[in-house]
């Protein structure tokens, strides 16, 4: 029931492929019980400290400065977009208020 079956070709081609029957494997021997061998504890490897050369320190500082500039430019542009939107909405509100007041006065 749980064995895979190869589908038989429903169209006649002249070559008939019979389904493959798996053969049971009986000559596998169980592993022999051996006496446990103590495993030595691994010695912790000494970590190499990071050494910054003047060139790598300069590159690291330049990369950090570039990241700060890019993030600052994005934040300033977002703040500018919000400020422009706020001024536009305030200007539209003033114009609409004037139009509504003029319509109420009957001009």
In the structure encoding, which two tokens stand for residue 51, read together? 């050494």
In the structure encoding, which two tokens stand for residue 40, read together? 């030595």
Residue 16 domain-assigned?
A: no
Residue 99 domain-assigned?
A: yes
Residue 57 domain-assigned?
A: no
Residue 83 domain-assigned?
A: yes
Residue 90 domain-assigned?
A: yes
Domains held by the chain: number: 1
In the structure encoding, which two tokens stand for residue 72, read together? 């600052």
Residue 53 domain-assigned?
A: no
Residue 51 domain-assigned?
A: no
* pLDDT for 49: 76
Tell me the mean pLDDT per 10 residues along the chain, length 107: 71 69 69 69 73 88 96 97 97 95 82
What DSSP assignment string belongs to 13-51? -S---PPPPPPPP--PPPPPP-PPPPPPPPPPPPPPPP-
Distance, in Å, from the CA atom of 74 to the CA atom of 80, rounded to the nearest integer, reads 10
Residue 45 domain-assigned?
A: no
Whole-prediction pTM value?
0.44
Domain coverage including residue 107: 76-107
């Amino acid at each position: 029931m749980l064995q895979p079956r190869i589908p038989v070709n429903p169209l006649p081609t002249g070559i008939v492929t019979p389904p493959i029957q798996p053969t049971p494997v009986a000559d596998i021997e169980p592993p022999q019980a051996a006496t446990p061998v103590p495993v030595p504890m691994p010695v912790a490897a000494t970590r190499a400290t990071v050494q910054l050369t003047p060139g790598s320190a300069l590159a690291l500082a330049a990369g950090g400065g570039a990241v700060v500039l890019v993030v600052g430019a994005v934040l300033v542009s977002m703040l500018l977009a919000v400020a422009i939107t706020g001024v536009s909405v305030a200007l539209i509100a003033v114009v609409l208020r004037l139009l509504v007041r003029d319509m109420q006065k009957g001009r």
